[in-house]
Chain A
Amino acid sequence: MRKPAYGVLALFPSADALLKAIPKVKARGYAQLEAYTPYPVHGLDAALGLPESKLGVLVFLMAAFGAVGVFAFEWWANAVNYPLLTGGKNAFTWPAWIPPTLEGSIFLGTFTAALAMLFIFNGLPFFGHPLLQTKTIDEITRDRFALLIVPSGAAFDEADAAAALRAAGGAAVETLPAPSHETPDAAWWTRTALAIAAACAVAGGATAFAIRVFPTVKPMVNMEVQPRLDAQEPDSFFANGRGMRLPPAGTVPRGGTPILAASLDAAGRELIDPLPVTEFVLERGRRQFDRHCAVCHDRLGTGRASLSSVYTAKPADLQSSTMRKIADGSLYWVISQGYNTMPAYAADVSPDDRWAIVRYIRALQRSQDAPERDLK
């Protein structure tokens, strides 16, 4: 059986001619009409008898949902879940939530307007629309105004419809065939689903790649490169070419304790650990060591902490035999003054804490090389 025609189409030279033709065609008993114009024509909706579009209602509902949703989310996030006090105001800072509320309503409103217009009210996706296959589609999109009689009821006479259009002043009358397939078939849905899946896979892969690559690329180095001298850095400003300066002879920093030893070896001979042997001191030393030293020397003092691979100079292995033999006073002196690339910690760690660290290093060394009697 032959499929029924999509409709009978005719062209009119102007918008006025189209508007005048519509009542004439309607008078011949054709109620279902459709018009195609290159631009919106005033009076066309009324002439065709179209009801007011429901799009506005949908947009309003979604925009209201966006506004209420965003405001409620801001309220929940800033006043309920994690109350945030800013600038001495209370947690319910509604004026600050109005701009995002406005954005939320605009976002949902505009997207609803565009998507609902395309997919709900205009019935997209619609492939192979018969109008696109007419000879006159170029003219309809340029400067001609088309009227289509849509078949309604069983007894549709194409010849009579064509005559009605001609009588109303229409030219280039033609019958549009039924569309080849009005709704997408299973193959189209499969293709579409596969395409979306492929797009997601590409996007996901690219994101994963980017996440792996970008952390090694430094987007900004402002924090890292600073106009200051670090410990042991050379500098041409001073005559001896060193960035570090010795304090004037005989001076003691405010609140500081002078280290009364001239060298590493002298410190080992002359300085004496003043702290008592208590669990409190060891615990204090552990906390100070973990805070200041473990980042380079590792929590066991092996010198193989996670950061050590970044440095060209290897941090000292505190478990080595050299470090086991070195005197307490010398360890104290190194922590205070720095050694090779290790910076001085005198400014950051108080003298008592430095001694506590020394005590803890000794405990660490013993823990990794315990004599048999300790294990009994």
Chain B
Amino acid sequence: MSAATTNHRGRALLAAAAVGAAGMAATYFLDGAARFWANWLLWFVILACLALGTLFLVALQHITGSLWSVPMRRVPERIAALTPWLVPVAAVALFSVPAVFSWTQPGADAVTPLVLKSAWLNYPFFILRLAACLALWMLSYHLLVRRSLRQDESKDPRVTVSLRRFAPAFMIILALTITVFAFDWVSSLEAAWYSDMFGVYLFAGAVTTAIAATTLGVIYQRRRGRLPGVTEDHLYNLGGLMFGFTIFWSYIAFSQYMLQWYANLPEEVFWFQQRTSGKMEGVFVLLMAGHFFVPFLGLMMRSDKKDWRRLRWISIWVLFMEFVDVFWLISPIAGKGLNLGWPEAAFALFFLSAGLLVVSRAMSRGPDMPVGDPFLEDGLKFHLR
């Protein structure tokens, strides 16, 4: 592919982002700040999930020492280039805290659960936690991805050793930060609600999303001949991971739902009541059918996971379901008018095109495979049976 087409595509993405940005500004002034902030939070959460999920996939490969994923590792590493951009997105998102978070609203000091949680939910500590999370994510991105990129030139096998040494530490960092992130930026929207496993819920969705995005990236790169030697057998493993994490997400989602539905305690169950009745009922049913049954049945056969066309459609579907999932989480509270309309389309246009721009810029730099990784050759030799 020539540089001209790359530039052409880059300009198109830039134009789309500009149109989206204009729509976002119009949302703020025409449709009110609440809808703007709800959409901004929605995309902040999705982008963070995508960045953290791809970092998780990279670290997972280093921990397990899997060979099949080495040739395609550059794809999640490049999608993780979204990580530094989380800083400006988060900085803007901070302005949504006084606007839509329930613990900042007037009268919050009269609600018992909010008073009990005020040691955790106050501005200084909240900002401190966000800063700590962002710093740890940047550090992890640097240690997991940047060093791997530099290995392309140095060909130093010791880098692989130290990457494998850092990966378990990243898993602990991820477990702690994604839990804090989920509590702070999603469940504290309705701060009276309790759910200990909410961090795991967001994590399960994040990894499923990251696998789907990685699969799409691999299929894209492969069709352009950038990943020679990556076969259907490699894709099969991505499909298998997506299948597994689909079931994991469903298990976690159902466990969280059933416990609160069964106990039926007013201080817990109101959260689900808002999300399963009224106009949200349809979204709830779509989530059950679309986030579980479609990928579950669509990825079950071995031939499904080896067919790149089918994988492509299911990956796109899974990405759409992550949007539906986060919409379902945020919409009933923060939205106060979050709906499906032109403002949502403008936000989607902006964040998708800007995100694609970031990822495709990153992908166009340097080799498309980790050529310095000593396991690359073994990874290319991988076959199923």
- Which residues of A are at the interface with B, using a C-beta cutoff of 8 A? 42-46, 52, 56, 60, 87-89, 95-96, 98-99
Contact = CB atoms under 8 A, between A and B. Distances in A.
B383 A43 contact: yes
Contact of A43 (B261, B264, B300, B385): B385
Interface size range on B against A: 10 to 19
A98 B262 contact: no
A45 B385 contact: yes
Contacts of B161: none
Given A52-B302, A95-B258, 4 more contacts: A60-B300, A87-B262, A88-B264, A96-B258
Interface string B264-304: 10000000000000000000000000000000000011100
Contacts of B220: none
Contacts of A44: 385
A43 B261 CA distance: 49
B262 A42 contact: no
Nearest 9 Cβ contacts at the A-B interface: A95-B258, A45-B385, A95-B261, A87-B264, A42-B385, A46-B385, A43-B385, A98-B254, A43-B383
Contacts of B254: 95, 98
A56 B385 contact: no
Interface in B203-259: 254, 257-258
B258 A98 contact: yes
A87 B383 CA distance: 54
Contacts of A60: 300
B384 interface: yes
Contact of B264 (A45, A46, A89, A98): A89
24 contacts: A42-B383, A42-B384, A42-B385, A43-B383, A43-B385, A45-B385, A46-B385, A52-B302, A56-B301, A56-B302, A60-B300, A87-B262, A87-B264, A88-B264, A95-B254, A95-B257, A95-B258, A95-B261, A95-B262, A96-B258, A96-B262, A98-B254, A98-B258, A99-B258
A324 B254 CA distance: 71
B165 to A, nearest CB: 29
Contacts of B385: 42-46
Nearest to B384: A42
Contacts of A56: 301-302
A88 B261 CA distance: 11
Contacts of A87: 262, 264
Nearest to A86: B262
Interface string B347-385: 000000000000000000000000000000000000111
Contacts of A98: 254, 258
Interface in B157-190: none
A60 B301 CA distance: 10
Contacts of B264: 87-89
B67 to A, nearest CB: 12
A43 B383 CA distance: 8
A46 B385 CA distance: 7
Contacts of B383: 42-43
B231 to A, nearest CB: 13
Contacts of B384: 42
A89 B257 CA distance: 15
B54 to A, nearest CB: 29
Contacts of A88: 264
A88 B264 CA distance: 9
Contacts of A42: 383-385
A338 to B, nearest CB: 47
Nearest to A53: B302
A60 B300 CA distance: 9
A95 B261 CA distance: 8
A98 B261 CA distance: 13
Contacts of A45: 385
Nearest to A42: B385
A44 B384 CA distance: 10
A88 B302 CA distance: 45
Nearest to B382: A42
Contacts of B300: 60
A89 B269 CA distance: 13
A22 to B, nearest CB: 14
Nearest to A87: B264
Contacts of A89: 264
A128 B254 CA distance: 50
A328 B384 CA distance: 96
A60 B299 CA distance: 13
A43 B385 CA distance: 4
Contacts of B261: 95
A213 to B, nearest CB: 39
B148 to A, nearest CB: 28
A45 B302 CA distance: 14
Interface string B306-319: 00000000000000
A50 to B, nearest CB: 9
A14 B291 CA distance: 45
Nearest to B260: A95
A174 B264 CA distance: 72
A328 to B, nearest CB: 57
A209 to B, nearest CB: 41
Which of B264, B384, B385: most chain A CB closer than 10 A?
A: B385
A58 B140 CA distance: 45
Nearest to A88: B264
Nearest to B302: A52
Nearest to A45: B385
Nearest to A96: B262
B293 to A, nearest CB: 12
Nearest to B254: A98
Contacts of B262: 87, 95-96
Contacts of A52: 302
A40 B205 CA distance: 34
A43 B382 CA distance: 11
Nearest to B258: A95
A52 to B, nearest CB: 7
A60 B358 CA distance: 42
Contacts of A96: 258, 262
A113 to B, nearest CB: 14
A56 B301 CA distance: 8
A101 to B, nearest CB: 11
B381 to A, nearest CB: 11
